[in-house]
Amino acid sequence: MDYKDLIASNLHECTGLDKEQILGLIEIPPKLEMGDYAFPCFVLAKTLHKAPPMIANELKASEDLVKGFDGAVTVDAAGPYINFRIDRGVLAGNVVSEIIEQGDQYGNRNIGEGKNVIIEFSSPNIAKPFHVGHAFTTILGNSLANIYSRLGYNVIRFNHLGDYGTQFGKLITAYRLWGDEAAMQENPIDELTRIYVKFHDECKVSSEREKELEDTARDNFRKLEEGEPEEVALWQRFRDLSLQVFEKTYERMGIKFDNYNGESFYSSMIPGVVKMLEDKGLLEESEGAKVVKLDEEGLPPCLVVKSDGTTIYASRDLAAVLYRHEEFNFYKNIYVVGLPQQLHFKQVFAVLKKAGYDFADDCVHVGFGLLKFKPKKDENGNEVVEAFSTRAGNIIKLDDFLDKTTEKTAEIIRKNSELRGGDMTDEQIAKVSEIVGLGAVSYTYLKAGREKDILFDWDDMLDFEGDTAPYLIYTYARIKSILRKAEEQGFNASVDAVSKLTAEDEYAVIRSLADFKDAVVKAAESYEPFMISRQISLIARNFNRFYNNSRIINADTQESREARLMLCKAVSYCLKSGLDMLGIGVVEKM
């Protein structure tokens, strides 16, 4: 029985408010003793011309409000709120059996059935290193894609590769002058970065040299746009080699895409976009360039065609969104891209709207902050930012970051294993560290509101007792070990007595398990996976409190042991489900 749903249905009967609206209004009281759900009566004050506490009192007395509750839910008026309290035993039985039924897919729904949701994320730039900034979009986007598919949406994962633009004219030019074939084979992105930097350094030599290089680059980009075979072949090679490097990282992180249509894919569609905007009378000349003015939106004009006739980033995005709508008739088209590009997306969506495409309203820019390294104090008390080796200047490459994290994780896991008398082989340690380390990185990006900057610190990230992935995975592994031990001793879990799990610690675990389902929906609605990370972190804390205060295998009665083991099982499923939504794996032992 879904009591929240039943409560909403009854409130709908009593008040005439829309059920969906009611579901959105129902709150979880800040303290457990206040009940399980609360409905604030403020919305009804206007139409009923009564004060909210009075409305709460009258509603409380209504027969219709308690229909189907069968004594399992008690109703209270508290000021402007109606509080609903579900019988602890009934709640425990309901929640645990639902979880056992769904297993590690607990939290899934079918609210998105038949709806296409495009989630564009990662979108690194060809020939440039994949850095920790791209990790944010990659990890956040992957998590949102997981969450939406678990809610039943048909998710299409797009990687809008930065594989086009004037910089490719420069790269072609630089490659012909200084490209080193062997280095290209060895590490294409490093080599492409090297020659790109060299191009810019050479431009600084003299203004003649700069003009010569820039002219050649412009010429090469034009040839590329016109489809000249030699330029196209070079570009294709840069793209293929870079993509191979990116794909290795994706594979390591367990991330997949359905579509790699980068910016280049849309370049041939741009004349159509330009014509459409022209036909609608939206394109204006401005200093030789073509723009769409957006004054009425309070936005600067959107540049569509540059004065030299070449196309730019925004025009490719316009072509892309029209293509996506045509192909997928999307319910939502989500861009997981850093906050610095907020204006760009506002402009693109405003142009669409101006051109009469209402699906502009279904396009969403999901922005995020920056990863910053927490300064540390050196011996003299001066603040220093911990840096670690990168070959490409100040940029921290994701692969280096992941390597360093798994290394540090392995140290901890090895130490723990040694404390237990060395119960893990090197191979096991390596395997576990990869999952826990990558999980730690992902969790760091997902544990707080996405628009906040992250103040990164190694010790925080790998604190096995903190709000971290290692803590959650460790809790999961601990539960699995309890379950294994019980099985070895011939003890089983059973739902039969779960309704007896009404002690304070048990109730707290069950309450937090019950709230997980809503957290998933809220995470999707607000594009904030941290609603899930926060919830599973609460579940893990509640579980560990229960674990420390209660005997499980050695419980007083068989009934109590079986019920508690079942609760353990439910918690393990829910943790696994939540971590999986965040793109984080689990280990059975660590």
Q: How far is the CB of 123 from ligand ARG (least distance, A)?
A: 4
Q: Judged by CB under 6 A, does residue 123 bind ligand ARG?
A: yes
Q: How far is the CB of 317 from ligand ARG (least distance, A)?
A: 5
Neighbouring residues of 10: CB distance < 8 A, sequence distance ≥ 6: 64, 65, 66, 67, 68
Between the alpha carbon of residue 325 and those of residues 59, 317, 331, 353, the distances in Å are 46, 12, 9, 14
Exactly one of 155, 337, 352, 501 binds ligand ARG (CB under 6 A); that residue is 337
What residue type is 259 in one-letter code?
N
DSSP 3-state of 585: coil
Q: How far is the CB of 137 from ligand ARG (least distance, A)?
A: 8
Between 171 and 584, whose beta carbon lies closer to ligand ARG?
A: 171
- Which one of the spans 121-129, 231-239, 283-291, 351-359 is the region binding ligand ARG (CB under 6 A)? 121-129
Exactly one of 57, 97, 102, 125 binds ligand ARG (CB under 6 A); that residue is 125
Between 120 and 506, whose beta carbon lies closer to ligand ARG?
A: 120
Neighbouring residues of 387: CB distance < 8 A, sequence distance ≥ 6: 373
Q: State the burial class of residue 102 (Cβ atoms within 10 Å of its Cβ: 0-12, 13-18, 19+).
A: middle
- Which one of the spans 123-131, 287-295, 388-396, 431-439 is the region binding ligand ARG (CB under 6 A)? 123-131
Between 100 and 339, whose beta carbon lies closer to ligand ARG?
A: 339
Q: Which residues are registered as beta bridge partners of 375?
A: 385
Q: How far is the CB of 359 from ligand ARG (least distance, A)?
A: 15
Residues from 421 through 450 that contact ligand ARG (CB under 6 A): none
CB burial of 381-412 (b: ≥16 within 10 Å; e: otherwise) equals: eeeeeeeeeeebeebbbbbbbbebbbebbbeb
Angle (CA) 320 323 312, round 5°: 25
**E strands along 192-348, which residues?**
283-286, 289-292, 302-305, 332-336
Q: How far is the CB of 173 from ligand ARG (least distance, A)?
A: 21
Between 317 and 506, whose beta carbon lies closer to ligand ARG?
A: 317
CA 159 to chain centre: 15
DSSP 3-state of 127: coil
DSSP 3-state of 366: strand
Between 123 and 499, whose beta carbon lies closer to ligand ARG?
A: 123
Neighbouring residues of 72: CB distance < 8 A, sequence distance ≥ 6: 1, 3, 86, 87, 90
- Which one of the spans 40-48, 51-59, 122-130, 201-209 is the region binding ligand ARG (CB under 6 A)? 122-130
Residues from 154 through 193 that contact ligand ARG (CB under 6 A): 160, 162
Q: Which residues are registered as beta bridge partners of 363?
A: 333
Neighbouring residues of 397: CB distance < 8 A, sequence distance ≥ 6: 129, 130, 131, 132, 390
Q: How far is the CB of 121 from ligand ARG (least distance, A)?
A: 9
Residue 120: phi and psi, rounded to 5, are -100, 125
Residues from 484 through 513 that contact ligand ARG (CB under 6 A): none
Q: How far is the CB of 28 from ligand ARG (least distance, A)?
A: 36
What residue type is 61 in one-letter code?
A
DSSP 3-state of 77: strand
- Which one of the spans 30-38, 119-127, 430-438, 538-546 is the region binding ligand ARG (CB under 6 A)? 119-127
The two tokens of residue 130 are 């994949």
Between 249 and 499, whose beta carbon lies closer to ligand ARG?
A: 249
Residue 279: phi and psi, rounded to 5, are -60, -35
Between 345 and 547, whose beta carbon lies closer to ligand ARG?
A: 345
Q: How far is the CB of 270 from ligand ARG (least distance, A)?
A: 14
Between 4 and 160, whose beta carbon lies closer to ligand ARG?
A: 160
Q: Per-residue x/- marks for ligand ARG, 231-270, CB under 6 A?
A: ----------------------------------------
Alpha carbons within 13 angstroms on the beta-carbon side of residue 487 total: 9
Between 366 and 486, whose beta carbon lies closer to ligand ARG?
A: 366
Angle (CA) 148 151 156, round 5°: 35
Nearest to ligand ARG by Cβ — which residue?
162
Q: How far is the CB of 289 from ligand ARG (least distance, A)?
A: 19
Q: How far is the CB of 249 from ligand ARG (least distance, A)?
A: 15
The two tokens of residue 120 are 């564009």
Exactly one of 191, 225, 231, 317 binds ligand ARG (CB under 6 A); that residue is 317
**Per rule CB under 6 A, count of chain residues that contact ligand ARG:** 9
Q: How far is the CB of 188 from ligand ARG (least distance, A)?
A: 18
Between 246 and 543, whose beta carbon lies closer to ligand ARG?
A: 246
Between 191 and 317, whose beta carbon lies closer to ligand ARG?
A: 317
Between 386 and 453, whose beta carbon lies closer to ligand ARG?
A: 453
For residue 78, give the H/E element and its range. Answer: strand 73-78
Q: How far is the CB of 367 from ligand ARG (least distance, A)?
A: 11
Between 35 and 129, whose beta carbon lies closer to ligand ARG?
A: 129
Which positions lie near ligand ARG, rule CB under 6 A?
Answer: 120, 123-125, 160, 162, 317, 335, 337
